[in-house]
Every structure is written in structure tokens, then in C-alpha cells.
Amino acid sequence: MNDSMDPKQSVLGGKSKDLSFETSEGDQEMGMFESTSTDELGLEYGSTLRLSEGIELDPNDMNFEISPDEKMIINMGPQHPSTHGVLRLMIELDGEIILRTKPVVGYLHTGMEKTAEGLTYLQGSTNVTRMDYLSPLHNELVFSLAAEQLIGIEVPDRASWIRMLMCELNRCSSHLMWMATNGMDLGSTSMMLYGFREREMILAFFEKVTGLRMNHNYIRPGGVSADLPDGWQDDVIAILETIPGRLDEYDELLTGQPIFRERVNGVGIITDSQAIALGATGPILRSTGVPWDLRRDMPYLHYEQVEFDVIVGSIGDVFDRYSVRFNEIRESLRIIAQVVEKMPEGDYRVQDKKVTPPPRMRIDESMEALIHHFKIFTEGYKVPEGEVYVAVESPRGELGCYMVSDGSAKPYRMHIRGPSFVNLQTLPVMLRGGAIADAIASISSVDPVMGEVDR
């Protein structure tokens, strides 16, 4: 882009700026206060340009009194253990107090949206499942729902209920994983072990059903890849009987514990109007008291047929986000119990010859079935031209998929609206004015999954 940035010149020149060039992200980094425009400063100071009173904030009115030599810009990450992957935050500090924050992302970018344009609809779910690796089934679900809406097929009832069962279990495992890492971030190492132990139960069930612990490629356009194994009810009931008791233990371990409460109460506050202006969804939005849950407000699958409560917080601090996630595990278990009861008999994938390969038995006896099978897995199936946006409630918020088809067997454009990516923008607001030690609690409470942020 810029001639002076040519890597060869800079290296061969052997100048002292070589090292800073090698690690630099250039303009993507946080600049010095003096050389930053007021709009950008407002952004980094976390003013969302829309105060609760409805007054527009003029960045020129902001009062910056600290002299330049008392401030320091530090890097947190990309390798800091508490940044949940490769998140890099550049933080401007006045002593212990955070003034400005800028997330620098992209360290995990692998061009998955470009990759998706080269994969058929059948292969596509293998790609998307790797984005948010803590809730792979939600990624597959949103991709499949978008493809199905373009093709115009309706999946059988049982497939939808299986999808609900798996997604709610996935929400539990994702939130349990969050409880574990959050415990570790805040110094409660025992929570780390317990969280992983419970998550393991759910992953073992996933392995039994899908063959894999993560990145299942289980939910596919047209249904799911295999029926639930015999005796699945026993496994699910074992989960339903074990986890609530364990949750009560966590309640004792964390919720009522003074040291934990000291770390989370009143830390990283975000208001409802700020959360909406910043597009935050999921537990972050709900922790501010906005009862918005796509499962209830824009139901997909069969969520309108099950009973559950939308958990909301009150002031939007780290503790509220903790309680929202914690109680969502209980609500998910409630949904799972109803799904086990209501699970209908029937087919687990749509019997539309266009998208569903013939059964294995037929391939042995019929040449046409073999050709059909071969064509679906090599060429894929053609999807009518059109564009569609589908959103589901993932454990982190609104997970959307915008898909454009040109009538061929591969998506013309596949865009995933990752909740982590958008939620990350709430960090400057949460961190502003807090101590650097509290930053860990706030980052953890946003629950970003960097695979989804960078895609």
C-alpha cells in the first residue's frame, strides 16, 4: 500500500526500526494520543456516541487532562493466557487506570468466507463448524438453515428436534467451558477442573452421536447426518440428573463467595443503550436487562413449542453476565428435558432425492443409486438463485449467515455474522476507567472465541 512499508527495503536497510516493523500492525494499532483523530479517540474511549439521555456527544467536549508523560500504551496479548486465544488489546494506562482500549484482531484469519465459495453446500458445514469452535453445532445449524431456505425444503420433524437437542447440549457445554475459563481467569482454579469435567460428559455424548467431540459436521442441509444411537435417552437423562447438582455446587463455590464477588461486582459495567448501540447480543445484551433472545423472539426450529425463561440481568456488570450464563445452563437443561419427552419418531433427514444420498443398501443393488450417490458427493446439488439471511441464538449471541446463490452447486457468497466479532467492540466501554486487573474479568465476561472473530 505504502512504498515506505516495503518489507524488503526495511530489512535490507538494517535500520533500527526493523524489529518494530516485524511485529507491527501499522495503522491498525493504537496511535499516540496526539496523533489520533477525535472520532477515533471517542471510539477508543468507549463513548458510543449515544448517551442514555439521548444527547449526542461531541468528542471535542471530552476532558483529557492527563499529561502525556504520565500515560503509557501497553500490549495485552496476543499470547496472554487470559485473552482467550489470540486477542490483542492495546491499552493506554494512567498508572493502573485504563484510559483507552483498542482490540487488534486478525491473528487467526484464514479466509474461511473465501474458502466457503469453493466448497459445495454439502462440504460447507465442515468449513463453518470450525469458526466458533466452542459451539460448532450452532454454526452448522445456521449454515444449514440458510441453505435449506434457499433450496426451499422443509426438514422432517425429528431432524428439527434432534437439532434442538444437540444445540441446547452445545449451549450447556459452551457455557460450562466459559465457567471453567472464567474461574481460571479470576483465580478459582478448582472451577476450571469442574467445568471441564462436566463439559466432558456432554462431549462424550456428542462423540457417541456424531463420531467427533468437536467440529462434528453433524447438522447438514436436509437434516442431520445420522440418527440418534440406541439408548440415547439414557445418556441424556444421565446428563440431566448429574449437572443440576453440580451447578448447585458451583453456586456455593462462586456465587456466594466473597472473594469472587469482590472481583466481579460492579466491574465492567455497560448500559442497555450502549449495548444496543454497539450491537451486542446474547448474554451481554441480556445482562443489561434487555430480554432479547432469538429463540423466544424470532423462533426457529421448534423453540415455540418448549417452555423456557429468558434470563436477564440488571446493571450489566461482570457478575450479571456470569449469572445470565450460569442460569442459561439451567434453562437449557429444562429445554433438553422437554425435547427428550417430545422427540417424535420419523426420518432424520429429508427424503428429497435432490439433497439426500440414497441409503447404503440401495447402492449395492442399483447402478442408478451408485451414480446418484457419486454425483451428490462430487458435484453437489444445485441451489436456486437468491439471497437469504438467517440468524440463530448461539451461546454468544446472534449468529447470522448471509448466503447468496448463483444457481450453482457452491455458494456465491457466504458471510457469517459472528457474535464474538461484534461483541468485542463493547470492551473499550467496559474497560474505560477501570483498573488493569479488572480488565481480565471483563475480557473473560465477553466470552470472545477468536476463531469466530477472525474467521
Partner 1 sequence: MNEAEVLHVSRAEYLSTVSDLKSRGFAMCVDVTAVDYLTHPGRKLPEGITAERYEVVVGLLSLEERRRVRIRVQVPDEDPTIDTLFYLYPTSEALEREVYDLFGITFNNHPDMTRIVLPQEWEGHPLRKDYQVGAVPVQFKAVNGAE
* CA gap 73, 57 in Å, rounded: 25
Q: Residues touching partner 1: how many (CB under 8 A)?
A: 66
* CA gap 168, 243 in Å, rounded: 14
Which positions from 45 through 74 interact with partner 1, judged by CB under 8 A? 48-50
411-to-43, 151, 372, 374, 408 alpha-carbon distances in Å: 35, 12, 21, 20, 7
> Please, which residue, 78 or 279, has the CB nearer to partner 1?
279
Q: Hey, CA dihedral for 270, 272, 273, 279, is it positive or negative? A: positive
- Selected from 126, 425, 435, 436, the binder of partner 1 by CB under 8 A is 425
Tell me the three state secondary structure of residue 217. Answer: coil
Residue 246 has a CB neighbour count (10 Å cut-off) of 16
115-to-385, 409, 413 alpha-carbon distances in Å: 20, 14, 10
> Using CB under 8 A as the criterion, what x/- string covers residues 228-267 for binding partner 1?
----------------------------------------
- Selected from 42, 85, 124, 282, the binder of partner 1 by CB under 8 A is 42
Q: In sequence order, what E strands does 105-251 have?
A: 219-220, 223-224
Which positions from 295 through 324 interact with partner 1, judged by CB under 8 A? 297-300
427-to-19, 27, 42, 90 alpha-carbon distances in Å: 29, 20, 13, 11
- Choose one: 105-113, 200-208, 249-257, 435-443; the region binding partner 1 (CB under 8 A): 105-113
Tell me the three state secondary structure of residue 270. Answer: coil
Which positions from 20 through 39 interact with partner 1, judged by CB under 8 A? 21-22, 24-28, 37, 39
> Please, which residue, 201 or 401, has the CB nearer to partner 1?
401
One-letter amino acid at 253 equals L
161 phi, psi to nearest 5 deg: -70, -35
Instruction: Establish if 450 lies at the interface with partner 1 (CB under 8 A).
Output: no
* Short-list 191, 130, 166, CA closest to 325: 191
- Selected from 81, 111, 266, 433, the binder of partner 1 by CB under 8 A is 111
Give the H or E element holding residue 393: strand 386-394
Instruction: Establish if 389 lies at the interface with partner 1 (CB under 8 A).
Output: yes
Least distance (Å) from partner 1 to the CB of residue 170?
Answer: 20
- Selected from 118, 211, 229, 433, the binder of partner 1 by CB under 8 A is 118
By DSSP bridging, strand 223-224 and strand 386-394 are unpaired
> Please, which residue, 206 or 300, has the CB nearer to partner 1?
300
Least distance (Å) from partner 1 to the CB of residue 88?
Answer: 12
* CA gap 209, 30 in Å, rounded: 46
Instruction: Establish if 186 lies at the interface with partner 1 (CB under 8 A).
Output: no
* CA gap 450, 24 in Å, rounded: 20
Instruction: Establish if 89 lies at the interface with partner 1 (CB under 8 A).
Output: no
- Selected from 136, 183, 223, 400, the binder of partner 1 by CB under 8 A is 400
Instruction: Establish if 152 lies at the interface with partner 1 (CB under 8 A).
Output: no
Residues that bind partner 1 (CB under 8 A): 1-2, 5-8, 11-12, 18-19, 21-22, 24-28, 37, 39-40, 42-43, 48-50, 105-106, 109, 111, 113-114, 118, 145, 149, 276-280, 290, 292, 297-300, 385, 387, 389-391, 398, 400, 402, 404, 406-407, 412-413, 415, 417, 421-422, 424-425, 454-455
